[in-house]
């Protein structure tokens, strides 16, 4: 338990209520009266239920439920919170199920591992990344759709290693922190963001390549015939993804780097040209199914090309 969490607990909740948790058995927290929800939260803000912290808030598991509570460092007395289940699309993207005011909220709880836990433990980090690399493309596609849904609502993923929950048993990747585009203006690069967060703090070469290939496959799933892409095709940043992978892999290269870089620049030009053709063809196919076969072949060809990145 870190000092910050203990201080928040002792300063804001000096006398946590001893609540009989058995009273909630078989009932969802959100179905309870407001006063019972608040009391349950107060009883849960203890060191034993601490899940983690960010730059603005700490998160605690609400014991005996499928929820957690986010409490900002500057939050007021919990007895002054205004409980509300009126949510915006932005709230839902951030897994909020109820708001408490002052930036505090009740959120869905997800079982799993946060990559940030292994920032200083390469052995455990590499083991986790190997499990991520072995997940099906569907797992990657679901993460991509989360990021795309946020973009539709003018939000972007804060792709740090502390903002992804990896459930290896259920083969689930869950992004947990999105912010407004205007609050953090930067280029929208969903595929690169996926690669960055899935290989947080460095990865082994073989594992990194497997993850790269799975991200490519997830992206190209959206280009297949008879499918409406999860976001504008112009936002599929395959070139930036390839550049990121190449940059990571360059640190392991030996020999004539000038020759290697020149070859990659030629490769980048080929990818850019083929990507323009692929985007154009996908836009056409949405309205004209007669090009579906041509699109299918283009997707396969592009996959073969971009996966030449080591």
Q: 100 and 206: one domain?
A: no
* pLDDT reading at 9 higher than 50: no
Question: In this predicted structure, what is the pLDDT of residue 52?
Answer: 85
Mean pLDDT value across residues 158-163:
90
Which of 70-74, 159-163, 260-264 has the weakest average pLDDT?
Answer: 260-264
CB within 8 A of 24, min separation 6: which ones?
32, 36, 40, 64, 65
* pLDDT reading at 26 higher than 60: no
Q: 37 and 59: one domain?
A: yes
Q: 31 and 119: one domain?
A: no
Q: 257 and 120: one domain?
A: yes
292 — pLDDT class (breaks 50, 70, 90): very high
Of 79, 108, 137, the domain-final residue: 108
* pLDDT reading at 43 higher than 70: yes
Q: Note the pLDDT tens digit of each residue in 89-113.
A: 889 999 999 999 888 999 999 999 9
Q: What is the pTM of this model?
A: 0.84
Nearest to 107 by CA among 172, 177, 161, 42: 177
* pLDDT reading at 55 higher than 90: no
Task: Copy the structure tokens of residue 188.
Answer: 């929208």
Question: In this predicted structure, what is the pLDDT of residue 16?
Answer: 38
Q: Do 279 and 233 touch, CB atoms closer than 8 A?
A: yes
Question: In this predicted structure, what is the pLDDT of residue 7?
Answer: 40
Q: 99 and 196: one domain?
A: no
Residue with the bigger pLDDT between 9 and 36: it is 36
Question: In this predicted structure, what is the pLDDT of residue 181?
Answer: 86
Of 81, 108, 135, the domain-final residue: 108
Q: 77 and 7: one domain?
A: yes
Q: 119 and 62: one domain?
A: no
Q: 185 and 122: one domain?
A: yes
* pLDDT reading at 10 higher than 60: no
22 — pLDDT class (breaks 50, 70, 90): very low
Question: In this predicted structure, what is the pLDDT of residue 4?
Answer: 41
Q: What percent of the chain has pLDDT over 90?
A: 69
Question: In this predicted structure, what is the pLDDT of residue 19?
Answer: 35
Residue with the bigger pLDDT between 254 and 286: it is 286
| Cα angle 121-213-268, degrees, rounded to a multiple of 5 | 110
Of 87, 108, 129, the domain-final residue: 108
* pLDDT reading at 147 higher than 60: yes
Q: Which domain holds residue 281?
A: 115-306
Which of 48-57, 141-150, 201-210, 255-264 has the weakest average pLDDT?
Answer: 255-264
Complete DSSP assignment for the chain: --HHHHHHHHHH-SS-----GGGGTTS-GGGS-HHHHHHHHHHH-SGGGEEEE-SSEEEEE-TTSSEEEEEETT---GGG---B----HHHHHTTEEEEEETTEEEEE---SB-GGGGTT-HHHHHHHHHHHHTS-HHHHHHHHHHHHHHHHTTEEE---TTSEEEETTTTEEEE--EEETTTS-----HHHHHHHHHTTT---HHHHHHHHHHHHHHHHHTTSTT---SS-GGG--HHHHHHHHHHHHHTT--S-HHHHHHHHHHHHHHHHHHHHHHHHHHHHHHH-GGGHHHHHHHHHHHHHHHTT--
256 — pLDDT class (breaks 50, 70, 90): low
Q: 104 and 222: one domain?
A: no
Q: 239 and 293: one domain?
A: yes
Task: Copy the structure tokens of residue 292.
Answer: 């579906």
Question: In this predicted structure, what is the pLDDT of residue 257?
Answer: 63
> Considering its fold, how many domains does the chain have in total?
2
Q: 24 and 163: one domain?
A: no
Q: 145 and 291: one domain?
A: yes
3 — pLDDT class (breaks 50, 70, 90): very low
Mean pLDDT value across residues 165-187:
90
Q: Do 208 and 309 touch, CB atoms closer than 8 A?
A: no
* pLDDT reading at 65 higher than 90: yes
Which of 54-63, 64-73, 171-180 has the weakest average pLDDT?
Answer: 54-63
């Amino acid at each position: 338990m870190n000092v910050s969490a203990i201080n928040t607990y002792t300063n804001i909740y000096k006398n946590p209520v001893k609540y009989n948790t058995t009273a909630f058995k078989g009932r969802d927290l959100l179905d309870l009266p407001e006063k019972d929800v608040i009391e349950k939260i107060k009883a849960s803000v203890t060191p034993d239920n601490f899940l983690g912290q960010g730059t603005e808030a700490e998160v605690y598991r609400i014991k005996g439920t499928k929820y957690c509570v986010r409490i900002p460092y500057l939050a007021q007395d919990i007895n002054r919170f205004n409980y509300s289940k009126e949510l915006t699309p932005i709230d839902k993207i951030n897994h909020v199920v109820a708001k408490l005011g002052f930036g505090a909220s009740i959120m869905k709880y997800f079982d799993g591992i946060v990559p940030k836990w292994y920032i200083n433990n390469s052995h455990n980090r590499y083991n986790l990344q190997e499990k991520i690399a072995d997940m099906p493309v569907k797992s990657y596609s679901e993460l991509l759709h989360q990021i795309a849904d946020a973009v539709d609502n003018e939000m972007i993923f804060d792709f740090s290693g502390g903002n992804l929950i990896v459930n290896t048993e259920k083969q689930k990747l869950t992004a947990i922190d999105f912010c407004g585009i205007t609050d953090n203006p930067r280029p929208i690069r969903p595929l690169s963001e996926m690669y960055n967060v899935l290989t947080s703090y460095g990865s082994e070469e073989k594992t990194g390549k497997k993850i790269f290939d799975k991200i490519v496959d997830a992206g190209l799933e959206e280009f297949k015939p008879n499918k409406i892409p999860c976001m504008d095709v112009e936002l599929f940043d395959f070139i930036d993804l390839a550049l990121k992978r190449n940059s990571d892999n360059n640190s392991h290269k030996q020999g004539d780097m000038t020759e290697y870089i020149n070859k990659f620049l030629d490769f980048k030009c080929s990818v850019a040209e083929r990507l323009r053709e692929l985007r154009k063809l996908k836009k056409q196919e949405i309205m004209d199914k007669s090009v579906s076969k041509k699109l299918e072949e283009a997707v396969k060809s592009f996959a073969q090309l971009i996966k030449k990145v080591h």
